[in-house]
Amino acid sequence: MNLPFLTQVIRTAMASGQTQDVWKLLEGVKRGSFHAQVGWAEVQKIKPQHFPPSDLYPHRGVLSLFVDSCSNLICSKEHRVPSPCVKAELGGVSETTDVVTGTGNPVFTYKMNFLVADPASDTLKVTVFDERKEETLGTMR
């Protein structure tokens, strides 16, 4: 089975207990890459006395995504410099970094945390886009 790249990274982080350093070319564009660190922490299954045994806390863990930077980003109009930001989505929740104005090599240093109910089916999607023109500069899963 061919798993999405970020799913493979998350599984490695879960199995090793170590933060994974990720450099990946963005998909759907001529050029551009994404740098982040992915970590995983198990959530203790809390079972308060007033809940029946079947109502355990629904989340298995917390996925930490530290968005570091992107490089070599270009707009479809090649003579224009982008003002990029990164949006990450997982389990119906999304979070977006601040915009870095006027650069194809932005540094974000932005940490996001997502509760994960089912690591086997919850998929992390990362989109880099130009905030000024609402243009996608690349994606990855």
| Residue ranges of domains in the chain | 5-140
Strand order in the sheet with 135-140: 93-96, 84-90, 125-130, 135-140
Prediction pTM value:
0.86
| pLDDT tens for the 141 residues of the chain, in order | 567 888 899 999 999 999 999 999 999 888 999 999 999 998 765 445 555 554 556 778 899 999 999 999 998 776 789 999 999 999 899 999 999 999 999 999 999 999 998 888 889 999 999 988 789 999 999
Question: Among candidates 13, 129, 3, which has minimal Cα distance to 74?
Answer: 129
> Which CATH architecture fits 5-140?
Sandwich (2.60)
User: What angle (nearest 5°) sits at the alpha carbon of residue 57, between those of residues 53 and 59?
Assistant: 140
28: left (phi over 0), alpha (psi -120 to 50) or beta: left
First-to-last alpha carbon distance for the chain, in angstroms, is: 15
